[in-house]
Structure 1
Amino acid sequence: MPLAVAAALPTVAQAESLEERVARLEAQLAEKEASKSSTEYSFGGYIKLDAIYSSYSSGERATATVGDDFLVASTIPVGGSSGDTHLDMQAKHSRLWFKTKTQTDAGEISSHIEMDFGVNQIGDERISNSSVSRVRHAFVKWQYDKNSSLLAGQSWTTFFNVASLPETLDFVGPVGTIFERQAQIRWTQGVGNGAVMFALENPSSGLLSGGAAVGGSAYDNNSMPDVVLRYDGKAGDLAYSVAAVGREIAYKEASTTFTGDDSTMAYGVSFSGKWMLGKDDIKFQLNAGTLGRYMGLQTYRDGVIEANGDIELIDAVGGFIAYRHFWSDKLRSSFVYSATSADNPQSVQGGSTPESYNSIHTNLLYSPTAKLTLGAEYIFAEKTIEGQGANGEDSGDMDRVQFSVKYDF
């Protein structure tokens, strides 16, 4: 081998080794950059069977009403004779959710989509009990720094402190709870050991006819979003939330008997929280204002269209207190009392407009493992109306016993 070639071999070897090293470092850098934007996926939900026995004091239930599946206090009949006991079994409240989380240069971006099989029933007890899926949540959240985030999509209204909802087998729970999901844009800013939230949310108006000859063509005519401001704070073992909502209540109608429209502003406030007592806890809510659909699945409307076409608002107050006690690590109970009332305008006080509701829930839940719960719950609910029913009664009540099996996965 020529001397010059032999002398060059170490240099070539060194040059090749350096190229390989550069390539390896570039590959590692690319992998690191890719990992920053990689997406994590998660999937879960639960299966839940409910067996529900219901009895009404003042009449038979409406046929195939949503009140058969969970407590909808407005469906309680008033003015009839005592009804029979009914058994209903269903699994439509089982649900599925899918989440993603992605780390980016702009911060963490997460998404959440969730569905159950709700109340959109397309079959019946003769035809396979089919229910179609419905969207519960569908939103994206951008955590653009440690204490600040922006949420866009459908989720629980910012006016609702979900952590204050008591543990019941019933799908919704007490009549006085705030309970609403809707499309929104929400900004959250951490402040000390709490957080401030500001949201613009989908508007909707629900109205009664007090004196105007309103037909079936009246509809809400909102041009402004619902505006919600909320603060979450903590003091020792108490976690609490203070929230306010400002709403435009509006309608427009054109029919052969009545033409009119009106718009007015309405407001509501809520104070809620959870107080830890060792392992036990007390949860509570106190809500007031023109709340409409926000409280108790719209047990009260937002207002009344008077004879001159103007809207007169309906103010309501409601809430609940709930105590949860752990008898052991696997056995627990919740005791919940709730009540609401409305200040109805004079024009609807002689009719069948709801005046007040109250409810009691008490249950016994057993979890042999963390993800499996078997339970029984007794529910009492009462509805009182402004006028009198067919038999001179102005109230009706419901007694219900519910058994459930639930498995989270």
Structure 2
Amino acid sequence: MKQHTLLALSLFFIPFSPLYGTELQMGGFIKANARYVEGNLKFQDSWTGGGSFADNTKRTQFSAQESRVNMTITSNEVQAFAEIDFVGSAQGNPIISNSYSPRLRHAFISYQGVTAGQTWSTLVNTSTFAETADLGGPLVGQAMIRQALVRYDTTHWQFALENPYTYGTQAPEQASAQTKFATALTSTEPLWIDTNHDYLPDMIVRYNQSGDWGNVSISGLLRYLDSADTAQWGGGTSIAAKIHSIGKDDLRIQLHYGHLGRYVGTDAARDITDGQLENSLSVMFAYRHFWTQHTRSSIFYGHTSTKVEQTDRSHFGVNLFTNLTQSLTLGAEIGRYQMQDNITSLVPTVSQPRTTQGASNYAQVSLQFHF
């Protein structure tokens, strides 16, 4: 029966491929996770750079949400790529069936050096991501953002216009009468910025250099933020590198500084805090060592601190991965995520700053099958 099905499919596709000159490739992976978290920061599927406090957290969760499927379509000089996974879905629950709806990761078209659609921001150098069991690794200290953009690539340079969006809070005196009434300034809820003023695209220029030694990228971001009709220009710089070391070992580094906000740290820094441009400093490093041809470990660290909101967040971890087969990888990881914030702006009714500190340790085992 299986042979008959394959024959039928091949007869269906063969006549059309030469006619349209189109190639289709499928890929992705299935990932099974077991994760345990203990501490006074609430459980997260992965440490996103944000978080909330709890008296005592002890939680174990099994999940396959990180599994993903992608396809690449090529036709002459045109290439398109689309990818989905199931992370962050609010549909499923552990009571009935753990069903999860897909989310769009990538959907873009490339033609003669131009990329249009949703994909990694030009600020992101994916080769510098650490190999981790925790999804994304030290997100708190690295640039990891996907969004809609239009980009032009040359051998070494990239020029991009990217989707504008202001993430942050406005000062109470800037809030409209309607907003003040809706939020009631006596509450502890921050006054979130009205994004109706996001009308100029974010601009990014990046320079890339690579060789036998590895690769390095230097990026500059220029943004126009007009919250509450208060025009403000912001900018920041980013350096990321992957350097080959002894044997197959490598060192991966990211350094970010400026008005980068949502571009770095995932949820560790805002674009604007109480009407002021937020300034952040972020660092991430990871060293990967190969014990054998198929077994390796990474030790990694990520950290972000902000000037206005005075957040201080970090993530440390160490892991061990081994290839059971060419396409099947088993990994184990332990680590610690910490928040040590000096909260002033999140609570308008509090005149004196209060320090909030918390940390959670975690252990995770993953089994990943690539196809």
TM range, normalised to the smaller chain? 0.7 to 0.9
* C-alpha spacing 1:219/1:97, structure 2 compared with 1 (3 Å): same
Residue 338 of structure 1, CA deviation: 1.6
Is 1:240 the counterpart of 2:216? The answer is yes
Runs of 4+ in 1 over 6 A off after TM superposition: none
Task: Write the distance in 2 (CA, Å) between the matches of 1:313 and 1:320.
Answer: 23
Task: Write the distance in 2 (CA, Å) between the matches of 1:109 and 1:372.
Answer: 32
Q: List aligned pairs for 1:63-142, cutoff 5 A.
A: 68-77=44-53, 81=55, 83-103=56-76, 108-142=77-111
Query: Which structure 1 segments of 5+ residues have no match?
Result: 1-33, 62-66, 253-260, 306-310, 345-352
* C-alpha spacing 1:279/1:36, structure 2 compared with 1 (3 Å): farther
* C-alpha spacing 1:384/1:217, structure 2 compared with 1 (3 Å): closer
| Structure 2 residue matching 1:293: 3-state secondary structure | helix
1:398 to 346, 357, 360: 360
Task: Write the distance in 1 (CA, Å) between the matches of 2:293 and 2:158.
Answer: 35
2:283 to 319, 343, 354: 319
Match for 1:342: what amino acid?
Answer: T
* C-alpha spacing 1:152/1:322, structure 2 compared with 1 (3 Å): same
* C-alpha spacing 1:355/1:217, structure 2 compared with 1 (3 Å): closer
1:200 to 161, 167, 180: 161
Task: Write the distance in 1 (CA, Å) between the matches of 2:168 and 2:215.
Answer: 35
Aligned to 2:335: 379
Aligned to 1:267: 235
Residue 249 of structure 1, CA deviation: 1.7
Q: Would you say the 8 A contact 1:299–1:354 is kept in 2?
A: no
* C-alpha spacing 1:368/1:217, structure 2 compared with 1 (3 Å): closer
Q: Would you say the 8 A contact 1:227–1:245 is kept in 2?
A: yes
Residue 315 of structure 1, CA deviation: 0.3
Q: Would you say the 8 A contact 1:304–1:313 is kept in 2?
A: yes
Q: Would you say the 8 A contact 2:168–2:272 is kept in 1?
A: yes
Q: Would you say the 8 A contact 1:300–1:354 is kept in 2?
A: no
Match for 1:231: what amino acid?
Answer: Y
Match for 1:398: what amino acid?
Answer: S
Residue 387 of structure 1, CA deviation: 3.7
Instruction: Map Cα deviations across residues 179-202 of structure 1 (whole Å, 9 max, x no partner).
Output: 100001110011xxxx10001010
Match for 1:366: what amino acid?
Answer: T
Aligned to 1:341: 305
1:355 to 279, 296, 311: 311
Q: Would you say the 8 A contact 2:340–2:355 is kept in 1?
A: no
Instruction: Map Cα deviations across residues 104-123 of structure 1 (whole Å, 9 max, x no partner).
Output: xxxx1101010001212212
Task: Write the distance in 1 (CA, Å) between the matches of 2:206 and 2:81.
Answer: 22
* C-alpha spacing 1:233/1:36, structure 2 compared with 1 (3 Å): farther
TM-score by length of 1: 0.77
Match for 2:67: what amino acid?
Answer: S
| Structure 2 residue matching 1:125: 3-state secondary structure | coil
Q: Would you say the 8 A contact 1:73–1:382 is kept in 2?
A: no
Aligned to 2:205: 229
* C-alpha spacing 1:217/1:384, structure 2 compared with 1 (3 Å): closer
**What is the alpha-carbon root mean square deviation over aligned residues?**
2.1
Larger radius of gyration: 1
| Structure 2 residue matching 1:394: 3-state secondary structure | strand
Aligned to 1:64: none
2:322 to 356, 366, 374: 366
Residue 235 of structure 1, CA deviation: 5.0
Task: Write the distance in 1 (CA, Å) between the matches of 2:84 and 2:343.
Answer: 40
Task: Write the distance in 1 (CA, Å) between the matches of 2:90 and 2:167.
Answer: 24
Match for 1:98: what amino acid?
Answer: M
Residue 224 of structure 1, CA deviation: 0.3
Task: Write the distance in 1 (CA, Å) between the matches of 2:213 and 2:107.
Answer: 32
Q: List aligned pairs for 1:17-28, cutoff 5 A.
A: none
Match for 1:219: what amino acid?
Answer: D
| Structure 1 residue matching 2:311: 3-state secondary structure | strand
How many equivalent pairs are there?
A: 331
